[in-house]
Structures are given as structure tokens and as C-alpha cells.
Structure 1
Amino acid sequence: MTIQLSDVGASVSGSHVQFGIYLPGVTPGRGYSVEAFAIHLDDQFDPAVPAQSFTMNYTGGPHDLWSANGPLTGPGNFGAAGLHLYRYRLLRNGNPVVFAFADPFAREAGPGTFSAFTVGGTPFAWTDGSYQTPALQDLVVYELNVDEFAKDFYGVIKRLDYLSSLGVNVLELMPFTNVKEDTEWGYTPLAYLAADDRYGGLQGLKMLVNACHARDIAVILDAVYAHAHPEFAYNLAYEATGLPNPMMGPFVGEFFPGRPGTDYSKEFTQDYFKIVNQYWLDELHLDGFRYDYVPGMWKSPTGPGYAKLTFETYQYSKGIPRFQDPAGHSRIIQCAEHLPDPRGVMSSTYSNTAWSNELMDKMADTAIWRYVDEQLAYLFDPQLTGYPTHYSNPATGDSFPVAPFQYVETHDNPRQLARIAPSELRDLIGERYGDRSRFYLLQPYAIGQFMGKGVPMLWQGQELGENWGMAHWGLGRNLYPRDVHWEYFYDQYGQALIRLYRRLGQLRKSLRAVNASGPFFYVNDASHRSQQVIVFWRSVLATATEPEQYVLVYLNFSEQPQEIWMQIPKAGIWVEQLDHGEPTPQPDLVANHAGEWCPVTVPSHYGSVFLL
């Protein structure tokens, strides 16, 4: 690896600041020179205080390093404690070629396209030394956008107890690296190593991760490694010079034709994202990555793009204590958004999980057309639809469990209520809200999602009956704010759903039989499907300290209560769990012998979960 983070970015040592940037092919012999400009944040709009200029020296090396080291003294507040903003300027024969561009190696960011560094302050004191990343089979994921969920990292910290009450032990944070626009999902990065200042920057992110780890909650980054903002340094500089671009090329995939994307056939690109991942693991203690749009990074199952990056990241994680599993593998979370082939990417790369839209889309179809079929039942156990349960690499000896994320809503799609129960109300871009009075349509799917196999994932506000619509294309998708309607928490619909989700989260956490990879038996009965009901059961063997456990699940997707007959797999008193302890609980189930035919009446658009 030829990229060295110690050479690049901005760093403060004593009374001096050092700048460094790799610009392959940009050399003095071609007439080029580089300058850095910096100013204290408090002086940014003071006309009497100019930015400090630093002439960069050409150091050379395999990636043509430019660097400067200068004193932290100057007019105004320059050099005083606090955030300093900086950018670079590229010149040829003394004339600006690119007037200003952000540092692709900056560890901090300011507003807009400014990179940043901090003078003063004390090193962050981590307290997560004993923390262990949760095992794959125990994961419950919550996807959130920091701005829409709680405005900044500090706001998310205040809601961690709320998330814990849902059984959540992984936060999948939508991209938090700095972007140019204030309202932005984060999918056009300007720098890959800097947390956005709007969210609380580097310090705020460290505080969030540390607070999550104190509650045994993992944190993963939605990593946007297939494309960048048009003003990303390696877009601007090489478009202006016409020199061969060391990192960017044509975007690969169906989006943004003709726009720049990362080119993984280039060694610089491979090294860049390798050190980016290592930085997030080492410096920010992240637990892994959800890789956005893997087709844009894909070369082959053994190629230099996505496959190589996840392999090298996995190998690196083996040396980090929080990832060590007693079975000998690393618990790092590497989730692929490879929607064309989630099974293939989990079978052939070091991805221990993946996004898949199948359950979400099937939910919309079955809810709209009011039917139940075998395919819906199979989707509650991804193994029945061809997903692997383990990945093994004979060449390295690596082996670890795998399971897809199971979700019914994501940031990329309208809320399910907007799809299956649209109202007449529309938002400012003309998209319909969902009718929240029909929240009950969501309930059996939620029960199946948590009681089935795979890794359950919630999209922020799903548990409250959030009902935003979504434009299919254009700026209305990722430049339109959709803040969580926290007032829904207090109304009758939100209260009903949050009660159910909290109970499901508690069951997922406490029941050994209910996890991502344990046994799953679908009761394939045509009479059940005619009643729009699905029944399955799960079990786990006894251990030296814990007894055998059975969980029997009924899901009713119909408009009426349904009396369901089936042969109960084991004798005993089966205690209903969803309403256990409520004023009017569902009755328990008594089977006098294994295989006894017993009826269970399941409420409309709801379910029953029995524990033996």
C-alpha cells in the first residue's frame, strides 16, 4: 500500500500545521504549483482578515506528493484554539487552473466545500475497551439519517435508550461524510475521511460511537465508494488539467450516465478506499460498512473492486479485539447493497450480509392484492429462497456465518403505508402520504420480520407508522428533507405500533430460538393460505445451562380473525408472548401430546407468538 495517511491531510503539531495531498501526474515539470489557504472559522466573514497562504512543496514519490509546513501565526484568530478552514488551489505557470478544491484526505470538514483542522482541544477518551461487536445471528439493525432522525450526532445519543427499547443493537448510519449541500442524504461525498460538520464533526461522531458501544450497539457507515460529488478533488483537478485521472472514471451502472465514478482497475483507487476503511475502524471504532451500490464497484468475485476491498478489510479486522468471535472468525459487519444478486455477493465475497428488496416488494404486492402464497412464507426464511448460511474460502481457511438484512422499508423507497394505503394528502413535491389509520396492515409483516430468519432491519420511524411518499427519480429523492414525525409516537396509531415493535425487539433479544440463523419450519398448508394465514415454528436445542425452546408463530394477513387448526409439534403449555401481561391477552395454547390438532384464533392483521 503506497498511500500513507501520515503524509496527507492537515495535521497540527505544536505551533505548526502540515498539509499534504497526492496529485499523481501534477508536477513542477509540467508547470504546476499548489497552494493551501487557511482561515480561522471565526474570521471567515471578516473583510479585514485575509486567509493565510501556504506554498506547497513538491515532494514527489509514487503519487506525486505536495506538502507544506507552516507556523500557526497570523492575523485575526489564526492559530488560536478552534476550527480552521482550508482548501487547495492548483496553478499552472502561475495562473489558477482550479481556484479552490477540498482536501480528499481531510479528517475534518467545515461548511460547504471547506476542509478543516482543529487547533487545541484534548484527545478523545474512549471508554469502550471491553466492547464486543454483536454476533451476526443476534443483530437487529436500525437505519437512520442523522439529520432527519435527530439533527446531529448528539441528538442521536439522546435517543439511544429509545432504540435499545426496540431491541436494536446496530445503527446503520446513512452517509455522514461531508457533502456540499445542507439538505443531502450524503451520497455525493466531497471527502471520505471527514464527518460532516452539520452533524457534530469528528468529536460528535466519536461521542456517538462511544455511547453506542456503552450500550452494546454497533455502528456501521453507509459507505459511498462508487461515485463522488462533481467537486470532489480528483474530479475537479483532473478535469481541469486533462491529465490521466488516478482514481475516477466513467460511472458503472444504470445511474448517472456520463458522470464520474470510481475506477477500481486503478491501484490508487484500491489503496484509497482500503486506507479509508482502516481509518474508520481504527480512529472511529466503527463496526463495519454497508457498501452503497456495489454494482458500481464490481469487477468480479475475485477482482480488484468490491471483492478485494472486503477481503482486505476482513483480514485487517482480524487484528482488532472487538471483532473476535470465539469460533475464530471476525464479526466485522460488511453489508453489500448488490440488489441484482444479493445471494451471489454473499456466496462469493467477504460480505456477511446484504440488502435485498424481496421481502419489502412482496409485502407491497400481497398487501395491495390481499393474498398469501408460499413465496411470502419462504421469504421469512431466506435459506428457503437460496440464500447461503455460511461463507468459506478454502484458500485462506476463513469461514463465517452469513444472513441477509430483512426489511420492509428503506430510505430508497416510499413508506409501505404510502404504497399500500395511500391517502389524498400530498407533500410539497406532490407525493402521497400513507393513511395512518390503516397502520394495522403493517403488523403481521413486522411480526414475521422479527420472528423469522435473517437480520431484521428497521428504517427510521417505521415503528411509528411513518407515512412519507417518495419520488421515483430526481432531486425530490435525496434533496428533500423527510424528518421523522416524532409526534406520531403519541397518537393512537403510533402507540399501537411502538408497543408491538418493542415487544418484538424484546422477544428477538431474549428468545434463543429466534435469531438470524436457527432452524425454521414452515407449515405448508393450503387451507392456511386460503385464510391468508402463515404458520411457522422455530426451535433450539438444550445446552448445559438452558433448556430446549420452541416458538410457534401465526400471522394473519386477512380482514377477519381466523381460527387456525394445525398439529402442535410438542406437548405442553404454549404461552402467548405478543400480548402477555396485557389487560386482554391472547389465550395460551395447550397441547396434551405432540402432533395434537389444536385451534388457535388469530386476530385480524396481527399474529400470535407462542413459547414453550
Structure 2
Amino acid sequence: MTEKTIFPTRLKNNDYKFTVWAPKARSVRLLAESPKLEITMNKEEFGYWSLIVSGIDAGTRYRYELDGNNSFPDPASLSQPDGVHEASEVIDIHDFEWTDDEWVNIPLDRMIQYELHTGTFSAEGTFEGVIARLDYLKNLGVNTIELLPVAQFSGFRNWGYDGVYPFAVHDGYGGAKELMKLVNTCHQKGIAVILDVVYNHFGPEGNYVSNFGDYFSGKYSTPWGEPLNFDDTNSDEVKNYFLQNALMWCRDFHIDGLRLDAVHAIYDFSAEHIMKQLAGKLDELSQQTEKPYYLIAESNLNDVRYISSHSKGGYGLNGQWSDDFHHAIHALATNETRGYYEDFGTPEQLSKAIKQAFVFDGLYSKYRKKTYGNSTKNNSGEQFVIFSQNHDQVGNRKHGERLISLSSFEMAKLVAGCMFVSPNVPMLFMGEEYGERNPFYYFVSHLDEELNRLVNEGRKEEFKTFFDDKGEAVNPASEEAFERSKLSWGIQKNPEYQSMYNYYKKLIELRKNHPVLQVPDKDKLTITENGKGFTLHRWQGDRQILAFMNFDQNDTELEVPFNQSGNMDKILDSTSTNWNGKGETSPQKIIAGETIKVAKEAILIYSN
């Protein structure tokens, strides 16, 4: 495989080098504006074309003409200020004054992640709008933000998974320099940045890469479009394209880690999988910069091969999301049994998700009608990111309801407490920390109205098997879907918001500072069920915590014996009036042999 930088790069003498992979072309010309240039590029090995040009400045628009016919934007464009169909823009991504030389990243096991969508996180819908809220997040205790994809997509409103220029930062959010400013400011405030990237497909509009080369494979399929070619003819250079993309984000934008979207839709039967190559490249970069970079996969396979070391036959990624934790806790909290929740809903499954991250680790799934998953026995707790909500689980509902709107205020507190006492890396979904009740919808704004119509019809079909009994869904292409998905904020004016925010702040403080909770050790843990109640015991050395949780939604108070030796003091009670609860009824101190009463939809945490 040729390792080649493929986006325009400024050289030391201020010339720019242009490189494009176009094996399908017999000739390639660079067409530039201001200055106006039409220059034939030089052919190189493996289908590459290159050219060094003088007199080009940042801001110059350009396109590539193929075989003297049509011209197209650069597949590795760094900027598309006029949209996905128009000329690319030359920018110098090295022309930024970084002030984060002392930054070394947050250890994965100490991360408190916070997933946000740039367009709906603030009223501005920009990176500047995120910067304005960083002190708020730091005060909450968040030390890592995860941005939904920022690659250029068509239109103004989109989740980001329809990106068609993986190297270009969406101009509506502020573009490349504003993203750099956000990352630099985060690092100054002690906050890491993880970027969601899509390496399994391109979006449907403005996708011109097939005119240049064999970017797609006809051997497989995905729900979102043609899969990328990682194991067929000319796949080496497709791999280089995405490996260079990952390196650019971490090396040039100082991104601390990448969340890899739907790796189960990345098909590669080469001797060395693209995921393994990606991990190797970031390991090399880490050695050069003396800073760690993290790769976290989203997968519906429950396959630890992605996060196992190379020596154990794995791909060497650092972590992956645990959907099983979400499904187990959601089904227990809401009693939903449709769709993939058909497989969940028992207390034993939540216990297993807490203890092992995967519920389905070689078990038969009624929903999937097959056996799937494998054991996490040899994988540590920090390799699994857990959550009770995220953009997918909320936004792919017919009405975009958040957990608090599907259960109760007290249940939402219990679920949050359960997440933070579990031995994994916790992730919040924006607004969850104060009990946001605005929905989060799926939204698009393609320039092609027919495409918008097809998206709307497609969503209606999807909902027929999951939420068909609950009225009409909002049209994803409507401005309403986007505007209603924005966070409401106004925390200081809403007592419920204030109490939930303070509750989350306390949970995060315990997770970060308690000597037991701060270590995601899934081996030093026991958990027992009592109906819909749980007793979670964790320890490190001579320090212990006990968490009593009652998921019963009836007026059923749970009685649990305290069988540990020694005394324990209460460090959190979700029923406290501090958190807008009905008031504490459990003792501040417990001794061996006592019976603890746990209110419905409540969590108590004790420690020695």
C-alpha cells in the first residue's frame, strides 16, 4: 500500500502540492480560480496524479477535470464553503497557533464522555457555540466530549452520517479553523475531544468519488449505501485514503480519539483488516508525539476481536460501545419489549451487562433469530463505553423521546446512578444531565427534494415494526425536526433541571474521586438480584461500596439485608430532597445484620 498524503499541502517555499487518486482517468487537469489555472497533472504509480503549483494561496477554489470532460471537487477536499457540488477550497491546516503543547490526553479509564451534536447543542449550532458551554461541562465534571461527525454533508441540517467529504469540516459549523479552535480550547480546559468518523459508506448527495477510482465494493451492502472497497481491486489506495484521514484528525487537528461508526458494516477479508492497520498507524503516531490516541468502535456484533490485542488475534482498538447495557437498562426502566428490546427486560440481564458488558456473548437472540456475540472475560472494564441514552437510541425512535419522557424523574436518576457505579466508561448524551425533555429527532436537509422524500418514506417503513401505534412521525427534512431537537437549557430557571444537574454532578464527582468507583474493574464486583432490586458490591483493597437499586415501578419498597462486615456510611441517596426527591428514609450508617429499605425507583450508595 502506498502511504501518501492526498489533500493539498503547503510546502516550505509556500508552493502547494496537489495529489489525487484517479486510476480511472487517462488524464487529470487542475482547474483553479484566482489565479485562473488549467494545468495537466503528472501521472504516478498506483493511479495517483500530482502537481506542485506556485502562486496558490489559501482561499483558492479548485476542481479536478478528468479526461478533458467533467470536473469535480477534490475527493480529499479540506473545505467546501459553497456546498458539496461546488469547487473545493485550498486551506492551510498547518496555519493555526496551537497552545496545547502540555496536553497529554485523559486516560481512557478516567474518561467521563459527553456526546453532542454541534448543530443542536447550542442556539448558534456552531463550534463557537460549543466553546461557550465548555466551562459548564467542566463544572459538571465532564472531561471528554464526543462530537457527532463533522465531515461536509449536503444541506445545513444533518446528524453527520451523510458526509461526502471526510477531510472537510462542515462549513455550517465553522470549518476547519473553528474546529481547531474548539479542540485547542478544550485542551486548555482539561477536556479531551473524540470525533465520530464514518468509514463504512459515503452519503447519497455530492458523492463524486466513484468518478475517480474504485472506492466502492459490489460484493457487500449496507443499509445506508454502497460499502467501501477495503478488500477488492485497488483497495490498497482506498485504505490509504481513510488511514490518512484518521492521521489528519489526530496529527493535524489534535483530536484525542476517534469513534468508529458501525464497524460491522466495514467489510475487509484481507489478511490484515483495515481496523488493525488503523490501530497500527495511530500507535506509530502516538510514539512520535508521546501522546495516546484512542479508537472506540460502534458494533452490533458483540465481538471482542475488535478490542483484543494483536497478540490475541485482535485488531487492537481501545474500546467499543456496549449496546447491551443500554438495551438491558432501558427495557427494565420502561418495560418496552418491541424491536430489539424483545431480547431484554429481565433483572438478570442487567446484572450480566454490568458485570460483563455483553449480555449476548454466544447466546441465541429471538430478535435476530440467531446466536451471536462472544465472551468479554479477557477484556478489561475500560474497554467498554456504556450509556443509557445516545443519538441513535433516542433519535431513531419515532418521536425522539428521551428516557426521562418514557419513564419518570426518579427512574431517570436511578438509571444514571446505575451507569456511574458500573465498571466501565460512562457516556452522557447532551442534555441528559439536567433532564432535557425536548426530543432528539433524525433530521436531514438534502438539496435534492426527491432524496428528502425518499428519506421520509424510508423512516415510515422502519417505524412500522417498532412504533407504528403512536401517530405520525415528524418529517426528517422539515426544519421543525431540527429546531425541536435543540437543547432548551434554561437550567437556572427550572428547579427540576437544577436538581438533576446537581445530582449528575455528584455522581460524576463520586465516579472520578472514589477509590473504588474510579477504577473500572469488572472482576472485583458481585451483583445479586431480588425481584427488580439489585445489590452491587465493588471493592479495591480495603475500600468498598455497596449500591442498592430498586427498579420496581409500583409502590413496592425493597428490603435488602446488609451482610458485609463492618459499618458503612451513605454517600448518595437518589430520594434526597437535594435532588428533588421525596426525602431520605434510609439510615446514614448501616451495620452488619441490618435490613435496608430501598424506595421504588431509587438508588442508595454506601461506602466504608
* TM-score greater than 0.5 by the shorter chain: yes
Output aligned runs, 1:103-122, within 5 Å: 103-113=74-84, 114-118=87-91
Q: 1:187 to 1:557 in 2, by over 3 A?
A: same
Aligned to 1:346: 307
Partner of 1:565: 560
The reply on whether 1:438 has 2:384 as its aligned counterpart is no
Q: C-alpha displacement at 1:289, in angstroms?
A: 0.9
Q: What is the distance in 2 between the residues matched to 1:433 and 1:168?
A: 20
Tell me how far 1:272 sits from its aligned partner.
Answer: 1.6
Amino acid at match of 2:326: M
CA distance in 1, matches of 2:116, 2:219: 26
| Structure 1 stretch displaced more, 194-203 or 364-373 | 364-373
* Cα distance in 1 between the residues matched to 2:242 and 2:257: 13
Moved more, 568-577 or 432-441: 432-441
Cα contact 1:220–1:286 (8 A) shared by 2? yes
Closer, same or farther in 2 for the Cα pair 1:249/1:523, shift >3 Å? closer
Instruction: Please state if 1:206 is matched with 2:180.
Output: yes
Q: 2:135 matched to 1:128?
A: no
User: Are the equivalent residues in 2 in contact too, given 1:500–1:578 (CA < 8 A)?
Assistant: no
Q: 1:38: Cα distance to partner?
A: 2.8
Q: How far apart in 2 are the matches of 1:256 and 1:13?
A: 41
Q: Letter of the 1:607 partner, please give it.
A: I
Secondary structure of the residue aligned to 1:109 is: coil
Q: Does 1:38 align with 2:33?
A: yes
Structure 1 range deviating more: 279-288 or 110-119: 110-119
Matched residue type, 1:276: N
1:64 partnered with 2:48: yes
Q: In 1, Cα distance between the equivalents of 2:477 and 2:508? A: 30
Relative distance call for 1:440 and 1:463 in structure 2 (3 A) is same
Superposition map of 1:344-493 within 5 A? 344-347=305-308, 348-369=314-335, 373-382=347-356, 385=359, 388=376, 402-414=382-394, 435=405, 438-467=408-437, 468=439, 470=441, 473-474=458-459, 480-481=481-482, 482-487=485-490, 490-493=493-496
Q: Identity of paired residues, percent?
A: 21
Deviation, 1:342, is: 4.1
Structure-2 change in CA distance of 1:342 and 1:122 (3 Å): closer
1:273 is matched with which residue: 230, 242, 245?
242
Q: Is contact 2:524-2:540 (8 Å) kept?
A: no
Is structure 2 residue 81 aligned with structure 1 residue 87?
no
- 1:345/1:10 CA distance change after superposition, 3 Å: closer
1:577 aligned counterpart, secondary structure: strand
Whether 1:551 aligns to 2:545 is yes
Select the residue among 516, 538, 555 that pairs with 1:513: 516
Q: Which residue identity lines up with residue 274 of structure 2 in the other structure?
A: G
**Contact in 2 for aligned 1:9/1:21 (Cα 8 Å):** no
Offset at residue 115 of structure 1 (A) = 2.3
Question: Is the deviation greater in 227-236 or in 268-277?
Answer: 227-236
Alignment of 1:531-610 (within 5 A): 532-541=532-541, 548-558=542-552, 559-560=554-555, 562-578=557-573, 582=578, 588-592=587-591, 596-610=592-606
Distance in 2, Cα, partners of 1:362 & 1:260: 30
In the other structure, the counterpart of 2:506 is 503
Query: What SS is found at the alignment partner of 1:273?
Result: helix
Q: Which runs of 5+ in 2 are unaligned?
A: 309-313, 337-344, 362-374, 443-455, 461-474
| C-alpha contact 2:499 2:578 (8 A) present in aligned 1 | no
Q: Distance in 1 between matches of 2:94 and 2:162?
A: 31
CA distance 1:64–1:135, change in 2 (3 Å) = closer
Q: What displacement does 1:163 show? A: 1.6
Q: Secondary structure at the match of 1:565?
A: strand
User: Taking structure 1 as reference, are residues 389 and 509 closer, same or farther at Cα in structure 2, changes over 3 Å only?
Assistant: farther
Q: Does the residue aligned with 2:276 lie in a helix, a strand or coil? A: helix
- Cα shift at 1:149: 0.8
Deviations along 1:516-544, whole A, 9 cap, x unmatched? Answer: 2254433425xx21xx2111021111xxx
Structure ranking higher in strand proportion: 1
> Aligned partners of 2:477 and 2:276: how far apart in 1?
28
Is the contact between residue 389 and residue 402 of structure 2 (CA under 8 Å) also seen in structure 1? no
For 1:90, give the aligned amino acid.
Answer: E
The 8 Å contact of residues 539 and 551 in structure 1, kept in 2 or not, is answered as: yes
Q: Distance in 2 between matches of 1:54 and 1:570?
A: 82
User: What is the match of residue 544 of structure 1?
Assistant: none
Inter-partner Cα distance in structure 1 for 2:66 and 2:166: 24
For structure 1, the 5+ residue unaligned runs are 40-50, 73-78, 239-244, 324-331, 392-399, 420-425, 542-547
| CA contact 1:109–1:196 (8 Å) conserved in 2 | yes
Does the C-alpha gap of structure 1 residues 108 and 369 become closer, same or farther in structure 2, counting only changes over 3 Å? closer
Q: 1:286 to 1:225 in 2, by over 3 A?
A: same
Kept after mapping to 1: 8 A contact 2:357/2:384: no
| Cα displacement (A) at 1:372 | 5.3
Distance 1:306 1:523, change over 3 A: closer
- Opposite residue 501 of structure 2, the aligned amino acid is I
Deviations 1:496-555 (A, max 9, x none): 322221111111111120132254433425xx21xx2111021111xxxxxx32111111
Does residue 136 of structure 2 align to residue 165 of structure 1?
A: no
Q: CA, structure 1 residues 320+517, in 2 after alignment: closer, same or farther (shift >3 Å)? A: farther
Q: What one-letter code is carried by the residue in structure 2 that aligns with 1:157?
A: I
Alignment partners' CA distance in 2, 1:372 and 1:492: 34
Whole-Å separation in 2 of the counterparts to 1:460 and 1:301: 38
Instruction: Tell whether 2:18 aligns with 1:19.
Output: yes
Q: Could you tell me which amino acid in structure 2 is paired with residue 590 of structure 1?
A: K
- The 2-side partners of 1:534 and 1:279 are apart by 46
- Please say if 1:337 is aligned against 2:298: yes
Question: How far apart are the structure 2 equivalents of 1:357 and 1:581?
Answer: 32
- Given the superposition, is the C-alpha separation of residues 590 and 438 from structure 1 closer, same or farther in structure 2, using an over 3 Å criterion? closer
Aligned to 1:76: none
Q: Secondary structure at the match of 1:361?
A: helix
**Cα deviation, residue 444, structure 1:** 1.2
Question: Relative to structure 1, is the Cα distance of residues 17 and 373 closer, same or farther in structure 2, using a 3 angstrom cutoff?
Answer: closer
d(CA) in 1 for partners of 2:573 and 2:403? 29
- Say whether the 8 Å CA contact 2:297–2:320 is kept in structure 1: yes
Give the SS at the match of 2:120.
Answer: helix
1:321 pairs, out of 261, 286, 290, with 290
1:197 aligns with 2:166: no
Partner of 1:46: none
Q: Secondary structure of 2:392's match?
A: coil
Quick check: 1:226–1:293 contact (8 Å CA) kept in 2?
Answer: yes
Q: What does the per-residue CA deviation read over 1:159-178, in whole Å, with 9 as the maximum and x for residues that have no partner?
A: 11222233322211111122
- In 1, are the aligned partners of 2:112 and 2:425 still within 8 Å (CA)? yes
TM-score (norm 1): 0.78
- Judged with a 3 Å threshold, the aligned counterparts in structure 2 of structure 1 residues 183 and 415 are, in CA distance, closer, same or farther, namely closer
Residue 507 to residue 111, structure 1, CA distance change in 2 (3 Å):
farther
Query: Counterparts of 1:222-261 in structure 2 under 5 Å?
Result: 222-230=196-204, 235-238=209-212, 245-250=213-218, 252-256=220-224, 259=226, 261=228
Distance in 2 of aligned mates of 1:497 and 1:452: 19
